[in-house]
Amino acid sequence: MVVIGIAPEGVEVAASAATAMQCRFDVLVTAHIRFEGLGIIGALAEDGNAVLDGAFQPRFGLMEALDEAIEKARRVVKTERLLFRGQRPLGSVEGLSVVVVDGHMTSPWKALAAVEFLAAERPEALLVAAPVGTQSVQEHLLARRVEFVCPTVLLDPAGHRRPFGDPRDPSAERLRSIVIARDAA
């Protein structure tokens, strides 16, 4: 079994879970794809394909802007991957049970991109877990037949006001996640 934290929010939770279960821990880097005026329209994981919201239907004139948004997300992944894993590649998950962990899930797209990316590696089993998620996230994951374990499902699509850490200084949480990820390598 391997527990994989989605950087940065899922890293600390995943590292703790892996320690408690005495199994391997790793970090997967994802990035939201944001479209001006629409917000988050999807995500991508590592070098995987973009996973887009089916409700987003770009017209022909928007394809160039969509390509730019995807490329921007790829640059974010490349930078974050160096911060969280250095030059170390993601460990193989072939034939293993994989638990993908995110933090406070108010959007399903990073988890869906992670699942699509990892499924190509042929794991034995694959599920997504989070300590807190929204009903909308749960519905999106279940609609795509992704097993989802979440003890706290919130009805408010915005989620909890203060999911973790210091809301005045989120950089402290991010730094701690980077240190945990690098120490586990």
User: What integer pLDDT is reported at residue 146 of this predicted model?
Assistant: 95
Cβ–Cβ < 8 Å for 160, 167: no
Tokens of 15: 């590292």
Residue that has been written with the tokens 């999911």 in this structure? 163
Please give the backbone phi and psi of residue 61, each rounded to the nearest 5 degrees, phi first.
-70, -15
- Confidence band, pLDDT 50/70/90 cuts, at residue 170: low
pLDDT in tens, 40-52: 899 999 999 999 8
Cα angle vertex 185, ends 4, 176, to 5°?
Answer: 75
Domains in the chain, CATH or no CATH each? 2-184 (3.40.50.2020)
Q: For 66-97, write each residue's pLDDT tens digit.
A: 899 999 999 999 999 998 898 999 999 999 99
The pLDDT mean for the chain works out to 87
